Amino acid sequence: MSRQLEFTMGGLLDHIAQQFPDNEALIYVERGLRYSYREFNEVCRQVAKGLLKMGIKKGDNLSIWAYNVPEWVILQFATAKIGAVLVTVNTSYKSAELEYILKQSDSNTLFLVQGFKDTDYVATLLDVAPELATSRPGELQAANLPCLKNVVFLGEGSHAGMVDFTGIMELGKDVSDAELAAVESTLDRHDVINMQYTSGTTGFPKGVMLTHFNVINNGFNIGECMRFTDKDRLCIPVPFFHCFGCVLGVMACVTHGSAMVPVEIFDPLKVLQAIEKERCTAVHGVPTMFIAELEHPEFPKFDLKSLRSGIMAGSNCPIEVMKRVIRDMNASEITIAYGQTESSPVITQTRTDDAIELRVATVGRALPDVEVKIVDIETGNELPPGKQGELCTRGYLVMKGYYNMPEETAKVIDADGWLHTGDLAVMDENGYCKITGRIKNMIIRGGENIYPREIEEFLYTLPKVSDVQVYGVPDRKYGEQVMAAIVLKKGVTMTEEEAREFCRGRIANYKIPKYVKFVDSYPMTASGKIQKFKLREMAIRELQLEDAGETA
């Protein structure tokens, strides 16, 4: 029987902290940091009070630019306790993208770490807002970023013009419980408290507005699909700035009183160490993460017997990888989830007791209280089971809209409240869905519609193949041709002809890749989504197909 949680995020955490006060809430293995739910709630309340003292008000937009540091999870709840909106910034962004997000979101506060990989965040911010170097903390007046007033540093040390995160906790000591309670009493569960920018794989990123109700209920139902209880312990190596981390990870745990075991920056060895040391019962990841864990040279040394479940999502889940996760990682109840940020984010998920065939061949069925239909991409009419069309969804999970983009919102949410995903899918008579591609990823070769997913799944059965992505490139004669970018398993070699020969007689000739390229990795968003449009752009340059693209 389905049920919906009526809490705000702050109210939810108060409730769970009362129900499971001594349960471990948040564990950072490398830092030796452990919070029980009672302690975690108290820290979040203290930070919420500090934000109030800083002058942050309900409805203010606050950006966070950081990998999975402890402050991230604390801020997810602290900001929600006062009704401020946490705007999540992609960890891979550079200066132009940061400037765009801070401007477009009207953020008055930015929380940031020193940097990530090859990007120094502090230096990048100074490029965008040089006035910070000479401003008093809390009084920034930047020509490029008129809304931004506060910059808060997360980490050791201090920087000119910035408030230190520990300073916020100190400020909170001057605010009473009654003052915080008064603010919380004005909040509504349908208020926006989270804003995530779509990956921007096409056009400018759009700010997806999500409410308390969106993320709490989506997180709760995700956890239910994994049969989570207060005894579960989830390893979270996926980024918090993306729904995979902050909803499928954090909210699935908090709604069930489960323990969160984040990995700050993905490293397959650290994931394996965290699972073993903390006896994690579940682990999340995109397929490339699971591949990296399975193929790590030290993988056989680890005791993963505690593992039971988790989620593989974010991009197409290769059947062979799924089978290895079940067999070799002991995650016999691993699930597949499908969705997008605009649906907060999960629409369908497999269940732990689904037959293995369903768990490797579909993305499951609709979550409770979620409607799903498949419509004809030309007419918009609903299609019967077994017919391919666009997947649409309706229910509590649909976003409020794109921030300050009403026209873009109207393009994806129709008058009847259906969110149009842009994904091609087939649903069977039991409601289980197979995602067959993106409408814009479909390859049309000489009038034949080709769905890259089908060819990818076929090529995954080649023993030497670790990963594969299939996409279309321009062709003068046929309009488009099929191209495959293949990552080989370590220590093996293969020729282009060998890959094509494997296909001959097994799949239709028009589906056999005309072009095969061997690569070490794929261009990705920081949330683990493979950017096929970049693969296509590289191929067009390398194969000198610019003219073909113009005439195709």
Q: Which pLDDT does position 456 carry in this prediction?
A: 92
Q: Could you give the CA distance from residue 74 to residue 502 in angstroms, rounded to a whole number?
A: 51
pLDDT, tens digit, 9 for 90 and up, residues 305-319: 999 999 998 766 777
Residue with tokens 């490139």: 473
Q: Which pLDDT does position 549 carry in this prediction?
A: 53
Question: Which residues lie below 8 Å from residue 497, measured CB to CB, with a gap of 6+?
Answer: none
Hey, CA dihedral for 259, 226, 282, 489, is it positive or negative? negative
The answer to whether 464 and 475 are in contact (CB under 8 A) is: no
**Phi and psi torsions of 224, nearest 5°:** -60, -40
- Identify the band that residue 301 occupies on the pLDDT scale cut at 50, 70 and 90: very high
The answer to whether 422 and 389 are in contact (CB under 8 A) is: no
Average pLDDT, the chain: 93
Q: Which pLDDT does position 550 carry in this prediction?
A: 42
DSSP string, 313-356: -SS---HHHHHHHHHHS--TT-EEEEE-GGGSSEEEE--TTS-H
Q: Which pLDDT does position 199 carry in this prediction?
A: 58
- Give the rounded distance of the alpha carbon of 85 from its chain centre: 18
pLDDT, tens digit, 9 for 90 and up, residues 501-547: 999 888 888 899 999 999 999 998 777 788 888 899 999 999 998 87
Instruction: Report yes or no on whether pTM surpasses 0.85.
Output: yes
Q: Which pLDDT does position 525 carry in this prediction?
A: 79
Residue with tokens 């948040």: 26
Is the pLDDT at 201 greater than 70, yes or no?
Answer: no
- Identify the band that residue 202 occupies on the pLDDT scale cut at 50, 70 and 90: very low
Name all domains of the chain by residue range, CATH numbers in brackets.
33-197 (3.40.50.12780), 442-551 (3.30.300.30)
The answer to whether 162 and 151 are in contact (CB under 8 A) is: yes
The answer to whether 423 and 451 are in contact (CB under 8 A) is: no
Residue 447: C-alpha distances to residues 386, 388, 510 (Å) = 22, 17, 11
Q: Residue range 205-231: average pLDDT?
A: 97
Is the pLDDT at 552 greater than 60, yes or no?
Answer: no
Residue with tokens 């006035």: 131
Q: Which pLDDT does position 2 carry in this prediction?
A: 60
CB atoms within 10 A of CB 71: 22
